Amino acid sequence: MLCGVDEAGRGPVMGPLVVAAVAVEDDAALVALKVRDSKKLSGKRREELAPQIRKIARVESIAVEASQIDALRGEMTMNDIEARVFASVIDRIKPDIVYLDAADVRAEFYGAEVGRRLSYKPSKIVSEHEADARYPVVSAASIIAKTERDAAMRKIAADIGEKIGSGYPSDPVTRGFLERYMASHGDLPPHTRRSWETAQDIAQGQKVLKLDSFMRRDGRA
């Protein structure tokens, strides 16, 4: 059995990290679907492909929520977190051959880190950068991970009742939402990765603004 593993949501300041594994006996059906790296597909096409992938492959996924990421980062790096979650999702399937989209700049090292966390020994682990562009099973995993994260972000936005953007620090919609929420509530919103520099900068910035406003009202500035 072949298995591809990829993630979506490593870098955002909001929302979960989703790791997905897709396993097949043969990748011919995935090739026929013309799966590609999820970043090279439109959102509509990803949403079309995801249920088709689930029909022809075994799919497993794990979502690591923002609060869990914050807690784990007190003990380990993001690469360590991803290696642990990659291993957990692979362990659910126990495939013979595993293809990973490497999260570490040292691709082979990352493969070894995932391998040592497995409860069994696969016949081969292939860990490469841009594996989602090379191996159909990893492309399929990237599509599943991305669509699941997108669904999670839509639910968060619906629960909050406001547009929150993609969750990435570079997204002005996300940044604007975080700044407005912090100014209105005096705290960061749910589903924010508080350990992220962006979140800390926004929180600290609001504290400075409030102190400055207080000083002016008090006649000390």
- Per-residue pLDDT at 209 exceeds 80: no
End-to-end C-alpha distance for the chain, whole angstroms = 69
Strand 97-101, strand 58-64: pairing: unpaired
Own/partner long-range contacts of 75-80 (Cβ < 8 Å, ≥24 apart): 78/10, 78/103, 79/103, 79/104, 79/110, 79/113, 80/113
For the chain, give every residue range classified as CATH 3.30.420.10.
Answer: 2-156
Decide which of 85 and 215 is more confident. 85
CB burial of 139-155 (b: ≥16 within 10 Å; e: otherwise) equals bbbbbbbbbbbbebbee
Whose tokens are 């700049």? That residue is 105
CA distance 122 to 91: 10
Q: Give the pLDDT score at 116.
A: 97
Average pLDDT of the residues in 29-38: 96
- Per-residue pLDDT at 2 exceeds 60: yes
Residues of the chain above pLDDT 70, percent: 92
- Per-residue pLDDT at 208 exceeds 50: no
Average pLDDT of the residues in 136-158: 98
Q: Residue 48, class by beta-carbon neighbours within 10 Å (0-12 exposed, 13-18 middle, 19+ buried)?
A: middle
Average pLDDT in the chain: 93
pLDDT band for 204, please (50, 70, 90 cuts).
confident
Q: Does domain 2-156 have CATH number 3.40.50.1460?
A: no
Q: Give the pLDDT score at 110.
A: 98
Q: Give the pLDDT score at 207.
A: 52
Give per-residue pLDDT as tens, 161-178.
999 999 999 999 999 999
> Could you tell me if 168 and 12 are in contact, meaning their C-beta atoms sit under 8 angstroms apart?
yes
Q: Give the pLDDT score at 206.
A: 59
For the chain, give every residue range classified as CATH 1.10.10.460.
Answer: 161-217
Give per-residue pLDDT as tens, 106-146.
999 999 999 999 999 999 999 999 999 999 999 999 999 99
> Could you tell me if 23 and 95 are in contact, meaning their C-beta atoms sit under 8 angstroms apart?
yes
pLDDT band for 215, please (50, 70, 90 cuts).
very low
Residues of the chain above pLDDT 90, percent: 91
CA atoms within 13 A on the CB side of 21: 24
Decide which of 207 and 16 is more confident. 16
Phi (first) and psi of residue 153, to 5 degrees:
-70, -35
pLDDT band for 96, please (50, 70, 90 cuts).
very high
Q: Does domain 161-217 have CATH number 1.10.3720.10?
A: no
User: Angle at which helices 43-56 and 136-160 pack, to 10 degrees?
Assistant: 120
